């Protein structure tokens, strides 16, 4: 996989993380009275959102699973992207723990 593909996949993962996190926050902070009013008015969005409101644990659970899956893929992609950086480390620092620590640090900075 070349670097351009990696960067595109990483950006896609960051956007998906934002999507899942945003929908979760929007769901938690939604005005329940307004949603019920939209449902009674017969709007499509009101009916859909009120179905989610009936079972909030399922919606939030699905959102959290989505975030976790995308975060794992993001971590794997960032590990691939940072591999060439470790060729320049001195021999004393060229250990698996140091690689893991630096991968985590770099991936965290981007998110």
| pLDDT tens-digit map of 46-103 | 888 888 888 888 889 999 999 999 999 999 999 999 888 888 878 777 788 888 888 8
Helix (H) or strand (E) holding 60: helix 56-82
In this prediction, what percent of the chain has a pLDDT beyond 90?
41
Phi-psi region of 89 (alpha: psi -120 to 50; beta: other; left: phi over 0): beta
Q: What are phi and psi of 102, to 5 degrees?
A: -70, -40
CA distances from 59 to 3, 64, 84 (A): 35, 9, 40
């Amino acid at each position: 996989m070349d670097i351009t593909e990696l960067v595109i996949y990483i950006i896609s993962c960051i956007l998906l993380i934002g999507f899942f996190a945003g929908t979760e926050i929007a769901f938690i902070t939604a005005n329940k009275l307004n949603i019920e009013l939209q449902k009674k008015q017969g709007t499509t969005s009101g009916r859909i959102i009120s179905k989610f409101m009936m079972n909030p644990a399922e919606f939030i659970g699905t959102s959290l699973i989505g975030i976790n899956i995308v975060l794992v893929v993001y971590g794997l992609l960032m590990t691939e992207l940072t591999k060439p950086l470790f060729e320049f480390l001195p021999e004393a620092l060229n250990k698996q723990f140091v690689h893991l620590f630096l991968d985590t640090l770099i991936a965290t900075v981007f998110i």
